Amino acid sequence: MSGSRSVPCRVLCALAALAAALPAALAQKPASLPPTVYVRAGHLFDATSDQLRDNMVLVVEGERIARVAPAADVTIPAGAVVVDLSRDWVLPGLIDCHTHLEFRSDQYDPINEVKFTPFQGGFNGVVNARNTLMAGFTSVRDVGSQPFFAVDLRRAIDSGFIPGPRIVASGPAITITGGHGDMNGFAPGVENMMYPSENDYSIADGPEAVRHVVREQIKYGVDVIKILATGGVLSRGDKPGAEQLTYEEMKMAVDEAHRAGRKVAAHAHGTQGIKDAVRAGVDSIEHGSLIDQEGIEMMKAHGTYLVADIYNDDYILGKAVEFGLPQENVDKEKMVGRLQRENFAKAVAAGVKIAFGTDAGVYPHGDNAKQFHYMVKFGMTPPGAIRAATSSAADLIDRSRDVGTLEAGKYADLIAVTANPLDRIEVLEHVSFVMKGGKIYKNEVGASKAAQ
Ligand SMILES: [Zn+2]
């Protein structure tokens, strides 16, 4: 080891000589400073208000936004990297609070439950994550998958190994025996479990069992707890309107999750299950299909978010049938689909907090923005719908310090479209530019060049 002592000296001497040879201004700038990129935004919707601002510049340093200012107030140095979106509408990267990146939307035959290995979901996730990002969704909350798919996918994306959105990951949805998350309709000997001794970290009966599963999920890295308050549409042998987890079980999930700094998302179609979940203190009601006026008032009083997947009815009653969806599920969707949209409009009118969530995976990942049309059709303003998928969604998923608006200090997660989404919300279905963490993933407008 004796010879190694001279190495640092040689390195330091060489660096000192190099610094002396450089112009003073350049030498003072450490090489580790992130590169600065200037994004010209012709029309900026930063999601801090309902307004557009014209001719703005976002100064991006590394993965975050350093400054947002009128173009007239920003001096762009010669040779600086400029992303020219001066003819476009620039918005924060979109957020979908209800996705299942594990699932494909062309596999509806129940026999698949005993045919597929977990690896299938892993392959699906790589493709689905990329399609989601390219559609302009730079963050998602993934609410329900095999243990612990979403945690692993989050790590693979965060490490830069594969492209995808930022993920707020749940574990498997927590369900009662025979509930929406159980594998029903097969003989007692038929099982498909990765971890039978832990009921796949999913099936729990009684508050103490729920406590254990929540703690186990947190141990293995989940960001959010997903519980199944009522029956579901795409499961077999249960009713969407029927309560499943009891109030006491849900209260236990909420107490344990909140104690650990995790939020709770409750799948709830049925009227009573929605109310008990809200009373138990969940942070969001997913679906909310059969909510009544009292439930709406309770959600307002508690500040509970509604995440209503009001696009996918079209897909379930169309393509999903071609892909083997059983008649039982078609009948259930017919029962809840129309009511869900009508009740969503009532909740919007009453002022319930709304966050954007679509149940992607039920329909193809990447089509997430198709839901904006329905959110506006059923009562939201275009800026309100966009804020449901940006600032409000960030609040629900507890990421407001990082994403959801375009402000100094936030991640440079931004998208662009070539027409005004406040005039025609459907333009969000065709995002032409995607930046996540200062890195450009999609650029159909040829926007990047050096300043003259
Ligand atoms: Zn779902």
Render each residue's pLDDT in the chain as its tens digit; 452 residues: 333 333 333 333 333 443 444 444 444 444 566 689 999 999 999 999 999 999 999 999 999 999 999 999 999 999 999 999 999 999 999 999 999 999 999 988 888 888 988 899 999 999 999 999 999 999 999 999 999 999 999 999 999 999 999 999 999 999 999 999 999 999 999 988 899 999 999 999 999 999 999 999 999 999 999 999 999 888 877 888 889 999 999 999 999 999 999 999 999 999 999 999 999 999 999 999 999 999 999 999 999 999 999 999 888 888 778 888 888 888 888 888 889 999 999 999 999 999 999 999 999 999 999 999 999 999 999 999 999 999 999 999 999 999 999 999 999 999 999 999 999 999 999 999 999 999 999 999 876 666 65
Provide the 3-class DSSP secondary structure of residue 48. Answer: coil
- Position 314 scores a pLDDT of 86
Beta bridge partners of 36: 61
- Position 394 scores a pLDDT of 98
Taking the C-alpha atoms of residue 270 and residue 272, their distance in angstroms, rounded to an integer, is: 6
- Position 333 scores a pLDDT of 84
Taking the C-alpha atoms of residue 227 and residue 276, their distance in angstroms, rounded to an integer, is: 12
Q: Where are the beta strands (DSSP E) in 134-228?
A: 137-142, 166-169, 224-228
Taking the C-alpha atoms of residue 172 and residue 146, their distance in angstroms, rounded to an integer, is: 5
- Ligand 1 centre from 37 Cα, in Å? 38
Tokens of 11: 């390195």
- Ligand 1 centre from 158 Cα, in Å? 23
- Ligand 1 centre from 424 Cα, in Å? 28
Q: Are the beta carbons of 58 and 412 closer than 8 angstroms?
A: yes
276 belongs to the catalytic site: no
Catalytic residue among 182, 226, 413, 442: 226
Taking the C-alpha atoms of residue 346 and residue 158, their distance in angstroms, rounded to an integer, is: 39
Closest by alpha carbon to 372, among 356, 360, 391, 395?
356
- Ligand 1 centre from 174 Cα, in Å? 12
Provide the 3-class DSSP secondary structure of residue 403. Answer: coil
CA triple 254-258-264, angle to 5 deg: 50
- Ligand 1 centre from 22 Cα, in Å? 57
Non-local (6+) Cβ contacts of 424 within 8 A are none
Catalytic residue among 223, 313, 359, 413: 359
- Ligand 1 centre from 255 Cα, in Å? 22
- Ligand 1 centre from 345 Cα, in Å? 20
- Ligand 1 centre from 74 Cα, in Å? 44
Q: Are the beta carbons of 234 and 173 closer than 8 angstroms?
A: no
Taking the C-alpha atoms of residue 435 and residue 165, their distance in angstroms, rounded to an integer, is: 11
- Ligand 1 centre from 359 Cα, in Å? 5
Closest by alpha carbon to 262, among 227, 224, 210, 226?
224
Taking the C-alpha atoms of residue 38 and residue 41, their distance in angstroms, rounded to an integer, is: 10
- Ligand 1 centre from 50 Cα, in Å? 29
Q: Are the beta carbons of 341 and 313 closer than 8 angstroms?
A: yes
- Inter-CA distances, 226 with 223, 232, 324, Å: 10, 14, 27
449 belongs to the catalytic site: no
- Ligand 1 centre from 427 Cα, in Å? 25
Taking the C-alpha atoms of residue 385 and residue 426, their distance in angstroms, rounded to an integer, is: 11
Tell me the pairing of strands 81-92 and 448-450.
antiparallel
Strand order in the sheet with 94-99: 94-99, 137-142, 166-169
- Stated pTM of the model: 0.91
**Quick one: which H or E segment has residue 217?**
helix 207-219
Tell me the pairing of strands 224-228 and 263-268.
parallel
CA triple 359-364-369, angle to 5 deg: 70
- Position 33 scores a pLDDT of 62
- Ligand 1 centre from 233 Cα, in Å? 10
- Ligand 1 centre from 336 Cα, in Å? 15
Amino acid at 376: V
Tell me the pairing of strands 36-44 and 263-268.
unpaired
